[in-house]
Amino acid sequence: MGGVVTAPVCRDAVIVIPGIMGSELVDAETGDVLWGLSPRSYLRFWTSGGGLERLQVTDQEREGKTGRIRAKGLLRFPVASPIFGGFEPYTRLVAAIRHSLVHSDALCEFAYDWRLPVAFNAARLGDAVEAHLRRWRMHRMGSKDASVVLVAHSMGGLVARCFTGTTDGAPAVRQTVTLGTPFFGAVKAAYLLNAGRGAPVPLPRARLRELALTLPGVHDLLPSYRCVDDAGGRPLTPADVADLGGDGELADASFAMQRTLAKLGTDGLRTVVGVEQPTMQSMRLVRGVVVPQRHLVEEGVRTDHRGDGTVYVEAALGGVEPVSYLPQSHAGLARAPEAIAAVVAVLTRQRLGPPMGATGAGLDAPDLAIVGEPCEVRITAPDDAVPSCRVVDADTGEQVAAPVPVRRDGQLLVTMRMSAPGVYRVEVKTGGYSAVTALIMALPPGGAHDGSR
């Protein structure tokens, strides 16, 4: 018998919530784009400092007088960022979700001002959920018993959990799907607030630190687990954060928020977790300086759990068995085909089989490079694997190099030289998984460092 074969679809409303720095921000009065520019624009942004001052959170904003800056939409271009390693747009994820819905009107993109506290944005998300669900239930393709599914990347997962766990909006949400969410925070946030303190530092890192020190959103990502590697391990404290140059008051509010989230149940939570990437997991505090460690000390034993390069595995699990473990970077999770397939499977209530192929690769890439100088990337892969590598201009999508990985001193290395300033995506592929990716900002020679920091 013949007939049309259709794929399963989701009949609920869906809201996509980006991670930190994943929403375009504009000046509410002038409409000037403050964040979300084209990749090449960020070279001037991080080295000249132009526009950064306008992104800093003011005393008035900390007191609740917001509205000076408005979130316009989700990222449309790759974003260069020191330390964080860049941010990818959500175009592929949104397109795949839209294709899996009974009607495109069931999709809502929730852009938010990621500079502000998670709790503040959770309240804004509550307004968006109520309005979007009401519209969808009245839609000709909707139904009066439709629910909401939240799909969140990185810090967006904290916003979603704060909304479902601390407001009365939880009954409207069928499921929350997170990709690389730091449920217990990330050591990289503490490193960012302290990076380069008391020593010469590349200008982009210095500029980012100046901005981050004012942002409640960054402080909300501070690690709340036993991440300080002394006397068997202990949690970071607000006093530690203040000693490191951060804001102790913001840190205290962050840890209080994370304690609240840690008490929540896990019903309706599904997670996608990045693995295999070298990841900061703990830290030593040496005379006011963060020294990141790529391991945890557990009962006197150092264990390298790895993660997605930003969030270590246990911090991203959320207390549930994940839908998928994926050898991919933190930014790459939002655009990797395997992660997108996992999200769609949850939306359409399908079971996702295990991915085919060999063990995936790990990628350890610098955040910054200097034009014309060697830039070295380390790859972790099985001894019998033969990874391929290519370098793509993130602005144009054109391949600019295909360096060959070589084994040296027991390590698999790729050496490349960027020929012009810009933002480049390094892609390394092995086995049956999609390529692991990292964004690198290439700076012109000279003027890349600020010796006063």
* pLDDT per residue as tens digits for the range 269-284: 999 999 999 999 999 9
Residues of the chain with CATH 2.60.40.10: 362-447
Q: Supply the pLDDT for residue 453.
A: 37
Mean pLDDT of 228-249: 91
Mean pLDDT of 309-335: 94
| Mean residue pLDDT across the chain | 90
Mean pLDDT of 425-442: 90
Q: What is the pLDDT of residues 153-196, one digit of tens each?
A: 999 999 999 999 988 888 999 999 999 999 999 999 999 999 76
113 vs 6, more confident: 113
Per cent of the chain over pLDDT 90 is 72
For the cut 50, the answer to whether the pLDDT of residue 452 exceeds it is: no
233 vs 127, more confident: 127
How far apart are the C-alpha atoms of 10 and 345, rounded to whole Å? 10
Q: Supply the pLDDT for residue 6.
A: 65
Q: Supply the pLDDT for residue 223.
A: 97
Q: pTM (2 decimals)?
A: 0.93
Q: Is 155 helix (H, G, I), strand (E, B) or coil?
A: helix
Domain 1-355 has CATH 3.40.50: yes
Please state whether 384 falls in left (phi above 0), alpha (psi between -120 and 50) or beta.
Answer: alpha
Q: What angle do CA 395, 401, 407 make, to 5 degrees?
A: 130
User: Which superfamily is assigned to 362-447 in CATH?
Assistant: Immunoglobulins (2.60.40.10)
Q: Dig out the tokens for 46 from the structure.
A: 């991080």
Residues of the chain with CATH 3.40.50: 1-355
How far apart are the C-alpha atoms of 444 and 425, rounded to whole Å? 17
What does each C-alpha distance from 65 to 57, 61, 266 come to in angstroms?
11, 5, 34
